């Protein structure tokens, strides 16, 4: 029964952590001009072209495929890092605030590097600054998701190794 309660609490915490991360991501992209330009060049142009293609008579299955691909990318960015940090934290009984915030932030910030694979990033100081600022926004996104998860599910656990204190 305790396991079922932990699973429910963890799922509830993830349901609340993901929108909080999405809000931080949206705020970071809107407030940071370099991130806004970088993300806009990557994502907004594709969305606008997709809307133009749909208006021009794009088959519905292609439009649905594009929406599914966008939702997969969004889920990978917003759901995977807090879920992975929560799974590792629950398995290893890591209950620290720093674990959930730091691990989730680092995983989220590392996603562009992981997705890029072996492809060399663009060189030049401008590209490094843009990538660094986007990584900061992604780190903050993940850190907030992890902290929200910890506030709901992480701090409410009791370590079975320490006996309860009775006054």
Q: What is the mean pLDDT of each run of 10 residues along the chain (167 residues)?
A: 84 92 89 74 57 66 76 86 90 87 93 76 73 88 94 69 55
The burial of 81, by beta-carbon neighbours within 10 Å (0-12 exposed, 13-18 middle, 19 or more buried), is given as buried
Return the pLDDT at 122: 67
Q: How many CB atoms lie within 10 A of CB 90?
A: 16
Return the pLDDT at 49: 62
CB-based contacts of 17, cutoff 8 Å, min separation 6: 82, 145, 146, 148, 149, 152
pTM for this structure?
0.76
Tell whether 101 is covered by a domain. Answer: yes
Q: Report how many domains make up the chain.
A: 1
C-alpha 57/C-alpha 97 separation (Å) is 50
Tell whether 47 is covered by a domain. Answer: no
Return the pLDDT at 126: 74
Residue 150 belongs to what domain range? 2-40+75-154
Tell whether 130 is covered by a domain. Answer: yes
Return the pLDDT at 84: 93
C-alpha 137/C-alpha 35 separation (Å) is 8
Tokens, residue 18: 């993901």
Return the pLDDT at 39: 64
The burial of 117, by beta-carbon neighbours within 10 Å (0-12 exposed, 13-18 middle, 19 or more buried), is given as exposed
Q: What's the chain's length in residues?
A: 167
Return the pLDDT at 130: 76
Tell whether 59 is covered by a domain. Answer: no
The SS3 call for residue 76 is helix
- Angle in degrees, CA 14, 19, 24, rounded to 5: 120
Return the pLDDT at 93: 84
Return the pLDDT at 149: 92
What would the pLDDT profile of 31-56 be if each residue is shown by its tens digit?
A: 888 777 766 665 555 555 656 666 66
Tell whether 58 is covered by a domain. Answer: no
Return the pLDDT at 157: 58
Whether the Cβ atoms of residue 146 and residue 84 lie closer than 8 Å to each other: no
Tell whether 164 is covered by a domain. Answer: no
Tell whether 65 is covered by a domain. Answer: no
Tell whether 69 is covered by a domain. Answer: no
């Amino acid at each position: 029964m305790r396991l079922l309660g932990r699973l429910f609490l963890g799922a509830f915490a993830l349901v609340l952590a993901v929108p909080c991360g999405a809000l931080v991501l949206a705020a970071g992209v809107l407030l940071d001009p370099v991130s806004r330009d970088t993300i806009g060049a990557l994502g907004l142009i594709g969305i606008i072209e997709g809307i133009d293609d749909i208006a021009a008579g794009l088959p519905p299955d292609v439009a649905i495929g594009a929406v599914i691909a966008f939702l997969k990318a969004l889920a990978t960015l917003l759901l995977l890092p807090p879920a992975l940090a929560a799974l590792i934290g629950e398995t290893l009984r890591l209950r620290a605030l720093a674990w959930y915030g730091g691990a989730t932030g680092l995983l989220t910030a590392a996603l562009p590097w992981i997705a890029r694979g072996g492809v060399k990033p663009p060189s030049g100081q401008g590209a490094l600054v843009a990538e660094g600022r986007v990584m900061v926004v992604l780190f903050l996104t993940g850190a907030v998701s992890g902290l929200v998860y910890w506030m709901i599910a992480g701090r409410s656990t009791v370590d079975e190794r320490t006996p309860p204190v009775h006054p």
